[in-house]
Chains A and B, each alone.
Chain A
Amino acid sequence: AQSVTQPDIHITVSEGASLELRCNYSYGATPYLFWYVQSPGQGLQLLLKYFSGDTLVQGIKGFEAEFKRSQSSFNLRKPSVHWSDAAEYVCAVGTGNQFYFGTGTSLTVIP
């Protein structure tokens, strides 16, 4: 069965520091991969997506993610975190018309 694992429930980083959020998936073929950001009281906003091709994808707000087939991973990165990046980050896998979501990683940014 398809599944998405985000091993880190909560991460705290200092403003200006780099960030990497982990995401692992279980799926027999190459899935569509997504990262969403959810701010309090808001819906989920798409940060970036991977369908095929270049395994390093760029998204909005300075985020990028790298698909590693051998590790079944799609980790999200940002070189320098801003205080406004504090939010919940959710990784998702799409297979056909179905989508599977991780439980999210809550990011706290300290000044």
Chain B
Amino acid sequence: DSGVTQTPKHLITATGQRVTLRCSPRSGDLSVYWYQQSLDQGLQFLIQYYNGEERAKGNILERFSAQQFPDLHSELNLSSLELGDSALYFCASSGPTGANVLTFGAGSRLTVL
């Protein structure tokens, strides 16, 4: 157990729908990162939050949004889903200072039919 909790583990939905993925970071970590891993592709950075504020944004579609709450858990909202959004979505957290190391959750596998 890495200490980073992601729910749900699996999600099957239809095109056009909206889903929310949830992440609880490791205890003491202030940063949360979201990544997308599609079939045969590397990890694509979506967005980073630090202590409730957006810190960096990557290749995140406008249909996607995220936030980090005061208790530091984060949610990634995916709307108007398309077939191509089917992927593994990983959350990772890192510590507050110094040389950061990412600790990953087990991922949420989204299947859009």
Contacts and interface: CB of A to CB of B under 8 A. Distances in A.
B55 interface: yes
A100 B41 CA distance: 13
B72 to A, nearest CB: 16
Interface residues of B, number: 26
A101 B43 contact: yes
Question: Which of the listed residues A34, A44, A45, A98 has the most CB atoms from chain B within 10 Å of its own CB?
Answer: A44
Interface in B63-104: 90, 92, 94, 99-104
30 contacts: A32-B100, A34-B101, A36-B104, A41-B106, A43-B2, A43-B104, A43-B105, A43-B107, A44-B90, A44-B92, A44-B102, A44-B104, A45-B104, A46-B102, A51-B99, A90-B43, A94-B101, A94-B102, A97-B31, A97-B50, A97-B55, A97-B56, A97-B94, A98-B45, A98-B48, A100-B45, A101-B43, A102-B42, A103-B41, A104-B42
Interface of B: 2, 4, 6, 31, 33, 35, 41-43, 45, 48, 50, 55-56, 90, 92, 94, 99-107
